[in-house]
Structure 1
Amino acid sequence: MIKVGGSLGADMSRACADIRALVDRGDSVVVVHGGGAEADRLADELGRPKRYLTASGGRRSRYTDAAALDVLVLGMLGRLKPPLVTELLRLGVRAVGLSGADGGMVTARRTPPANVVVDGVRRVVRDDLSGRISAVDAHLPRTLLAAGYVPVISPPAYDPEADPESGAGLLNVDADRFAARLAVALEADWLVILSNVPGLLRDPGDPGSLVTEIPCEDLAGYLDLAGGRMKVKLRTAGEACLAGVPHVVLGDGRGPSPVLAARAGAGTTLVKGVP
């Protein structure tokens, strides 16, 4: 399982060459991607302001009302996924683009109304179309893998409890958690999460301060080192490690061979059962 961050942009092609190498040697590969950065660029083009929610604990997240969900879905499925799939096809990889909603693969439960801060004003938000993953059905990706395809999957997820009269049914879910839950459901040997940083750094301004190994049972001791998205990635990586994925790595997607480098020990590796 390889998760490529949407913030990598053109650097995603570097991971594609590694995917080809893994497929050539007989490995089964699933690719997951996000798309928040592309959705932000698209929102700017369309003149739709990006909005965020700040919960009482200080956690900041994307405000995904119906208009924002449209932009997010278009950014991931219409802007980011096609170039990723076609680059893999160009390299001879039989890639198939999917979303979590296809075949009911990833289902989620909508986030309940919450008292949060939006645009500097505290209010109760009831129209946020984001959610938490509730179940993963791995039948579709397993079928594609058995037939020699490489699934390229992204959010959104499917909401089976959506009101059919509202026109809803899709939910924005975190792409890192999406990848981790899929990795667990598929009993993956590896989960490599690539982003635009070397891994967890003790000092964000110093690449030489990389934390190379973290016992997943002691994850709480490292979360204070992480900020923003890295905290989510680290927590997600730890959950996947504890759930049974043997090899979990937070790697740098900007290098010349990022997937193979992560598998060879570059980045931050989560380990289980270390005293």
Structure 2
Amino acid sequence: MTKTATETPAIAEVLIEALPYMRRYRGTVMVVKYGGHAMGDENAARDFARDVVLLKQIGINPVVVHGGGPQIKAMLDRLKIQSAFIDGLRVTDAATVEVVEMVLAGKINKEIVSAIQSAGGKAVGLSGKDGMLIEARKVSRTQRDPDSNIERVVDLGFVGEPSHIDRSILDVFVGTDIIPVIAPIGVGVDGQTYNINADTAAGAIAGALSAKKLLMLTDVRGVLDAGKNFLASLTATEARRLIADGTISGGMIPKIETCLAAVEAGVEAAVILDGRVPHSILLELFTEGGGGTQIVAS
């Protein structure tokens, strides 16, 4: 399509603004947690694939970690397998963990790989079980009985959390033209399969790789203050204070905690950004204002 005389200077300005950021990030690792609306919408999924391919082509090393909660639910419903959530984690029995692995490491993972390759890139799909990339341990949770005030241990089944990330598996792809796409399935020392929250897996991988940034695609713009004003940047200390006073609440808390763990592990910055916005990754990385809430070490 031919650009108008008005459009051409604007496009040039965008490219000029992006250039110093491209130089800054060249050769670095960016871990992208992919999920939410950006995964479920066909156009958003195509834009995501194009953005990731562009990062690779300009010399950045993206690592994609994806979720798939709605797709897992749809398959469980189809198979008439009951499931429940406790503190945002899916209780995962033996039947459920088989479905989780099938959906995450199979269908979804390969769909993302195919989308990236359709956009002109090369991708390899992995699960955390491959090469023991994500070694996991069983998650334990407690709940307090409101009547007796006694805490009891809740068995979440085969729900795990990363205990070790073998970065050597992912180092193989750095400097190549291949983009790793990782399903958050872990493996225990006894060979047991564990379902891992995708945010948690992405944060652990970012920390292990000393990534430049962890980009967490969500269905909200970012973090809001008590007056519902958008916050473009937070230090770790400020983020913890907002959790303590209740400003950050609900499902945003575990996402922020993942970001905090990542920056404490050496990631330069972790960003909560809206995956519903077209090309949100590019806007975050290559424009002055970014697009989401950036969390940095205090």
TM over 0.5: yes
Equivalences for residues 124-273 of structure 1 within 5 A: 126=155, 128-162=157-191, 169-202=192-225, 209-223=229-243, 224-263=246-285, 264=287, 265-273=290-298
1:195-214 Cα deviation digits (max 9, x unpaired): 1111123479x6xx322111
Structure 1 pair 133/256, CA: closer, same or farther in 2 (3 Å)?
Answer: same
SS of 2:254's equivalent in the other structure is helix
Q: Does 1:72 align with 2:94?
A: no
Counterpart AA for 2:99: V
Deviation of 1:78 after TM superposition, in Å, equals 2.4
Query: Once the two structures are aligned, what percentage of the paired residues are identical?
Result: 30
1:134-184 Cα deviation digits (max 9, x unpaired): 11101111112343210000211011135xxxxxx1111121111111111
Aligned length: 255
Counterpart AA for 1:86: S
C-alpha distance in 2 between matches for 1:151 and 1:184: 16
Counterpart AA for 1:33: H
Structure 1 pair 170/130, CA: closer, same or farther in 2 (3 Å)?
Answer: same
Counterpart AA for 1:37: P
The answer on whether the counterparts of 2:37 and 2:275 sit within 8 Å (CA) in structure 1 is no
Deviation of 1:247 after TM superposition, in Å, equals 2.3
Deviation of 1:85 after TM superposition, in Å, equals 0.8
The answer on whether the counterparts of 1:155 and 1:178 sit within 8 Å (CA) in structure 2 is yes
Deviation of 1:246 after TM superposition, in Å, equals 0.8
Deviation of 1:229 after TM superposition, in Å, equals 2.6
CA RMSD of aligned residues (A): 2.3
In the other structure, the counterpart of 1:24 is 57
SS of 1:160's equivalent in the other structure is coil
C-alpha distance in 2 between matches for 1:227 and 1:46: 34
In structure 1, the gaps of 5 or more residues are 54-58, 163-168
Structure 1 pair 203/4, CA: closer, same or farther in 2 (3 Å)?
Answer: farther
Q: Does 1:5 align with 2:35?
A: yes
The structure with the larger Rg is: 2
C-alpha distance in 1 between matches for 2:174 and 2:139: 32
Give the alignment's TM-score, normalised by structure 2: 0.78
C-alpha distance in 2 between matches for 1:113 and 1:176: 18
Deviation of 1:74 after TM superposition, in Å, equals 2.0
The answer on whether the counterparts of 1:14 and 1:258 sit within 8 Å (CA) in structure 2 is no
Deviation of 1:219 after TM superposition, in Å, equals 2.4
Counterpart AA for 2:211: A
SS of 2:163's equivalent in the other structure is strand
Give the alignment's TM-score, normalised by structure 1: 0.85
SS of 2:200's equivalent in the other structure is helix
Q: Does 1:38 align with 2:68?
A: no
Deviation of 1:189 after TM superposition, in Å, equals 0.8
C-alpha distance in 2 between matches for 1:222 and 1:129: 32
In the other structure, the counterpart of 1:165 is none
SS of 2:231's equivalent in the other structure is coil
1:96-127 Cα deviation digits (max 9, x unpaired): 0001111001101113586689xxxx986557
1:59-97 Cα deviation digits (max 9, x unpaired): 342111111112222221223212111010011111000
